[in-house]
Amino acid sequence: MNERPNGIREEIITIERYILDQQYTHPGATGAFTNLLYDIALAAKIIARETTRAGLVEILGLAGKMNIQGEAQMKLDVFANETMVRMNSYTGRLALMASEEVPGVISIPEEYSAGRYILVFDPLDGSSNIDVNVSIGTIFGVYRRITKEGPATEADCLQPGRDLVAAGYIIYGSSTMMIYSTGNGVHGFTLDPGVGEFLLSHPNIRIPDKAKYFSVNQGYEKYWGEGVLRFTRWLQGMNEEDPREPLSGRYIGSLVADFHRNLLAGGIYYYPADRRKPKGPRGKLRLLYEAAPLAFIAQHAGGYASDGQQPILDILPESLHQRVPLYIGNRDLVEKAEEFIAAYGE
Ligand code: AHM
């Protein structure tokens, strides 16, 4: 991409143009995949419009109650989920969907034709942050259908992240951005609300070699195992045998926002296994809707994601809502976490 001497790019490229241009590099492509990405971008714009009005709900009518027009107000996470489903169920591009908000799979209604792709998504991640006006996001992953006949089934969703054909996220922050990868670089687009278009703003994102931040909820330190504690002390430059410059700590508590910052500035986000609920799952975040799609993005930006013991992208999900510990960001830092966990346990 050409730049003028003042740093401003020569071209203004919309996401639609960009996705189409990518399609032309794949002779024989039917356009279904291209259009699917564009449908997601459109859903994102609708969700973005509502998130910017979130603070007005109390003025215009409480969530769960009637608004002044007598319409029932929907909670934003329910709205985001419905938008993704409504936008994608009739297009003929998908065989099945699965959402963090819905216990089972989401079938394509019989009256619509089914396609070849599977869409998994977390419609509104970090939803506890909505009420306090902190960035939230949507995360998505696209797989190819693997069952051969009949309606697609849950088995089509339970694929390892390695088999993703595309993944991305939308961050609703000081501006709305959509970041995605189809395995050919990671590209970021910023929504111009005036014209209603996502414009290419961050082509070929690479995670910087030198990390700046570590992001973890240290409030739960007392529940951590020895490996996680020692790794954290190492990041803070407090390991006497292996001292380093301390990293700056930043934790928003919205995975998309924490991940996005570290992707652009360099760093590691982790949500380790902990002992808050001794009989509970190993981690908090969902493999299918959160960890795997972001691991795909990290990988294609030169980073890495692990559950502390193995690459996230290698894990074969056993159930739709399976949770995993997540370490994601600069490869050297994630590998260091694996070393500490191998030596001292998680
Ligand atoms: P959610 O699905 O309830 O939104 O939870 C997911 C969120 C992530 O966005 C975030 O990184 C994490 O939970 C924060 O958890 P905690 O408040 O325990 O630090």
Angstrom distance (rounded) from CA 161 to CA 234? 29
Tell me the best of 218, 255, 327 to mutate to test the pocket of ligand 1, counting ligand atoms within 8 Å of each CB and taking the most. 255
| Phi, psi (rounded to 5 degrees) for 97 | -130, 160
What does the domain layout of the chain look like in residue ranges?
Answer: 8-202, 213-344
The sign one gets for the Cα dihedral 26, 299, 87, 50 is: negative
What six digits make up the tokens of 1? 């991409």
Ligand 1: distance of its center to the CA of 219 in Å? 13
- Bridge-based pairing of strands 248-249 and 213-215 is parallel
Atom of ligand 1 nearest to the CA of 254: 9
Instruction: Identify whether the C-beta of residue 318 lies closer than 8 Å to the C-beta of residue 262.
Output: no
pTM: 0.93
Range name among 67-71, 186-190, 196-200, 313-317 with the lowest pLDDT average: 67-71
Looking at per-residue pLDDT, the higher value among 59 and 19 belongs to 19
pLDDT at 194 over 80: yes
Q: Please tell me the predicted confidence (pLDDT) of residue 61.
A: 46
CA-proximal residue: ligand 1, atom 5 (nearest): 126
Ligand 1: distance of its center to the CA of 323 in Å? 12
Ligand 1: distance of its center to the CA of 135 in Å? 12
pLDDT at 22 over 90: no
- Bridge-based pairing of strands 326-329 and 323-324 is unpaired
Residue 136 three-state SS: strand
**CATH 3.40.190.80 matches 213-344:** yes
The mean pLDDT of 239-249, rounded to a whole number, is 96
Range name among 39-43, 50-54, 333-337 with the lowest pLDDT average: 50-54
Angstrom distance (rounded) from CA 177 to CA 148? 36
Ligand 1: distance of its center to the CA of 248 in Å? 21
Angstrom distance (rounded) from CA 301 to CA 232? 24
Angstrom distance (rounded) from CA 151 to CA 220? 43
- Ligand 1, CB cutoff 6 Å, lining residues: 125-128, 217, 253-255, 258, 284
Longest Cα–Cα distance of the chain, Å, equals 66
Ligand 1: distance of its center to the CA of 336 in Å? 24
Return the CATH architecture of domain 8-202.
2-Layer Sandwich (3.30)
Atom of ligand 1 nearest to the CA of 217: 19
